[in-house]
Chains A and B, each alone.
Chain A
Amino acid sequence: MKIRKLLRSSILPIYGYFFFAFVYAPILLIVVFSFNSNPVNMMIWEDFTFDWYKTIFGFTSAATESALYLDSTDQLYAAVKNSLVVALVTTAVATVFGTALALAIARFRFRFKPFYRALMFMPMIMPDILLGIALLIFFVSVGIELSVFTIIIGHCTFLVSYVFIVVSARIADMDEALEEASADLGANSWVTFRRVTLPMIMPGVVGGALLAFIISMDDLVITYFIAGVDSQTLPVFIYGMLRRGIKPEINAIATIMLLFSLIIASVGLYMRARKA
């Protein structure tokens, strides 16, 4: 009897650890094998090496001298640069637009609110691929050449919604009486916005911006359709590499990306925890 009870009470935790193993093992696998020196089969452990990292940063080494695996580090750098430019510009634009819309909807009375709510909801329910092809048709038929610029426009169209939702949630949490109190104490609407509203919704704005940055850095589907030949972003570049055949450097690139996104995510989640 006792054993059955023990079994029943520990079955959920045991399952839980399996669940986390399923979530994390594949990621850890990449990290571990990014240090494997076996150039033929990267899943058979040979020796510990930094060679693949060296290759990425442009140093040739013993293992890679014979066969240059990475097509060109220049392409990789260009992709990283494109990704950063796109993500930074997109984040700035989407944050301003999304916050403006969230403020307008929460703090003003006007007739087309349901329209704007639906508009902000649309990217959430629309499969990415649709926006990707729609933008491709649009840019080509209007005659705008595909480039980093078109990627930025494409990312902004759906990331405005993400910022809007995060900021709106924050505004909804805010006591409206604070703004009334400010007006009551003699502040006009601009002073109230600068001294009360903006500081209060700032965590939401920063959170929305971080989310927009991460999603923009990671977007593949929409970018895939509207990136020009010379304007690949990092995800598109890696996707291309995957399709051409897997090479050990991808492990190292992936590990670095992993580290990068974990740092950003940790900063964001830490900020949220500190607020609460």
Chain B
Amino acid sequence: MVGRDTSQGRKMLSLLGLLAPPTVFLGVFFITPLAIMVIYSFLEPGLYGGVVWNFYDLNYGRILGWADTRYEKFDPVYLTIFLRSVRLALTTVLLSLVICYPAAFWISRMPQGRKNFFLFLITLPFFVSLVVRLFAWVLILRPTGFLNQALMEIGMIAEPLNLIFTDTAVVIGMTYVFIPFMFLPLYASIEKLDMSLVEASADLGATRLQTFRRIILPVTLPGIVGGSIIVFIPSLGNFIVPSVLGGAKVMMIGNLIEQQFLSARNWPFGSALGMMVMAAVLLLLMIYVRMMTREEEYSTAAKVKES
């Protein structure tokens, strides 16, 4: 009995030793700040960046449709910016999906050695600094940039085109930056695709398009959904890419939040905007989890039927 108690006690002690330091650290510097941010989003903004400790729902009101009627009318500009961010993020997801899918397919059918080499090439840019990769696109898209110079050189255009500081530039930039995020989950599910399924489908009389739609796409769907989510999340709240490639012309919700914190100094409003982004991400994840569990239920139901 004694032996058991001391060994249990020692086990508890080592568990405590492992858990306590990170728990305290994350409790103070991770959970507390996030909680304070949530509280801030319900506080009244004070003058010059401070807060007044009153419950105040007009931070959300300004965004969603009820305004402080004493001073202003409701302005849907924030909602517009939010929706534009969602639109640009979705476009980014779609574009990176379309770009990565065939490439992932191509690599997945290579012999092992070459496959590893090309996978290495795909992962490499992920390690290159984000600012550096964005800077490259500034060089390309600027009025005096590479693309305009090249097009003028070959005489296709006389005047530089307005490429940078557009929605397109922002989408291209985000797509470029997040390509590894899309590629790897896609590749993981495409590589698992058993090519004999494709052959079986053809054998049973399906055309290439039918095979793609009925076999390949459903089987690789988890990768598509997974990649889309990890591209969507950082795209939605992004402010670096729009500020570098979109300038003052293309404002996303991230830029708006940055402004509230670093120039307008309305932190409660900025926090409320941040909560909107978080809400959108959580909504997306909830849909994803619902979808996955339904699929699981479906497959377990099928198994029950079998037996």
Interface residues of A (CB under 8 A from B): 12-13, 15-16, 19-20, 22-24, 26-27, 29-30, 33, 41-44, 96-98, 100-101, 103-104, 108, 110, 119, 122, 125-131, 133-138, 141, 153-154, 156-158, 160, 189, 214, 217-218, 220-221, 224-225, 234-235, 238-239, 242-243, 246, 250-251, 254, 257-258, 261-262, 264-265, 269, 273
> In the bound complex, what is the Cα–Cα distance between A141 and B15 (angstroms)?
33
Q: Tell me if A15 and B124 are in contact (CB < 8 A).
A: no
- A-binding segment of B61-69, B196-204, B254-262, B299-307: B254-262
Minimum CB–CB distance from A70 to chain B (whole Å) comes to 15
> In the bound complex, what is the Cα–Cα distance between A41 and B261 (angstroms)?
35
Which of A19, A153, A273 has its CB near the most chain B CB atoms (within 10 A)?
Answer: A19
Other A-B contacts than A43-B149, A128-B237, 12 sampled, CB-CB below 8 A, are A24-B121, A104-B18, A108-B15, A110-B15, A127-B238, A135-B33, A137-B40, A138-B32, A225-B261, A254-B135, A261-B128, A262-B128
B240 interface residue (CB < 8 Å to A):
yes
Interface residues of B (CB under 8 A from A): 10-11, 14-15, 17-19, 21-22, 25-26, 29-34, 36-37, 40, 99-100, 102-103, 105-107, 116, 118, 120-140, 142, 144-146, 149, 176, 179, 233-234, 236-240, 243-244, 254, 257-258, 261-262, 267, 270-271, 274, 277-278, 281, 285
> In the bound complex, what is the Cα–Cα distance between A42 and B219 (angstroms)?
48
> In the bound complex, what is the Cα–Cα distance between A136 and B258 (angstroms)?
11
Q: Tell me if A129 and B34 are in contact (CB < 8 A).
A: no
Q: List 13 A-B contacts (CB under 8 A).
A: A41-B149, A43-B142, A43-B149, A98-B22, A100-B19, A103-B18, A104-B19, A126-B233, A129-B237, A131-B33, A136-B261, A160-B22, A265-B127
Q: Tell me if B29 and A220 are in contact (CB < 8 A).
A: no
Q: Tell me if B127 and A133 are in contact (CB < 8 A).
A: no
Minimum CB–CB distance from A191 to chain B (whole Å) comes to 13
> In the bound complex, what is the Cα–Cα distance between A253 and B242 (angstroms)?
22
Q: Tell me if A242 and B131 are in contact (CB < 8 A).
A: yes
> In the bound complex, what is the Cα–Cα distance between A44 and B130 (angstroms)?
25
Minimum CB–CB distance from A165 to chain B (whole Å) comes to 13
Contacts of B239 in A (CB 8 A): 129, 221
Q: Tell me if B18 and A127 are in contact (CB < 8 A).
A: no
Contacts of B137 in A (CB 8 A): 26
Q: How many A-B residue pairs have CB under 8 A?
A: 219
Closest 4 CB pairs of A and B: A127-B237, A26-B136, A138-B33, A265-B127
Known: A15-B103, A137-B36. A43 touches B14 (CB 8 A): no
Q: Tell me if A26 and B277 are in contact (CB < 8 A).
A: no
Q: Tell me if A220 and B26 are in contact (CB < 8 A).
A: no
Contacts of A103 in B (CB 8 A): 18
Q: Tell me if A264 and B271 are in contact (CB < 8 A).
A: no
Residue of A nearest to B277 (CB): A127
Residue of B nearest to A264 (CB): B127
Known: A12-B105, A43-B146, A242-B138. A19 touches B132 (CB 8 A): no
> In the bound complex, what is the Cα–Cα distance between A262 and B121 (angstroms)?
11
Other-chain contact of A134, B15, B36, B123, B131 (Cβ < 8 Å): B36
Minimum CB–CB distance from A267 to chain B (whole Å) comes to 11
Residue of B nearest to A15 (CB): B102
Contacts of A104 in B (CB 8 A): 15, 18-19
Q: Tell me if A265 and B136 are in contact (CB < 8 A).
A: no
Known: A26-B136, A214-B127, A258-B132. A129 touches B257 (CB 8 A): yes
Q: Tell me if A43 and B131 are in contact (CB < 8 A).
A: no
Q: Tell me if B123 and A157 are in contact (CB < 8 A).
A: no
> In the bound complex, what is the Cα–Cα distance between A44 and B123 (angstroms)?
31
Contacts of A43 in B (CB 8 A): 139, 142, 144-146, 149
Minimum CB–CB distance from A62 to chain B (whole Å) comes to 23
Contacts of A141 in B (CB 8 A): 36
Q: Tell me if B25 and A44 are in contact (CB < 8 A).
A: no
Known: A130-B278, A238-B132. A29 touches B146 (CB 8 A): yes
Contacts of B127 in A (CB 8 A): 214, 261-262, 264-265
> In the bound complex, what is the Cα–Cα distance between A252 and B261 (angstroms)?
32
Known: A97-B25, A133-B37. A257 touches B129 (CB 8 A): yes
Q: Tell me if A135 and B122 are in contact (CB < 8 A).
A: no
Residue of B nearest to A237 (CB): B131
Residue of B nearest to A255 (CB): B132
Other-chain contact of A269, B123, B145, B285 (Cβ < 8 Å): B123
Q: Tell me if A189 and B133 are in contact (CB < 8 A).
A: no
> In the bound complex, what is the Cα–Cα distance between A158 and B122 (angstroms)?
24
Other-chain contact of A29, B36, B140, B267 (Cβ < 8 Å): B140
Q: Tell me if B135 and A242 are in contact (CB < 8 A).
A: yes
> In the bound complex, what is the Cα–Cα distance between A258 and B10 (angstroms)?
48
Other-chain contact of B129, A15, A22, A218 (Cβ < 8 Å): A218
Known: A101-B19, A157-B29. A257 touches B132 (CB 8 A): yes
Contacts of A246 in B (CB 8 A): 135, 138-139, 142
> In the bound complex, what is the Cα–Cα distance between A101 and B15 (angstroms)?
9
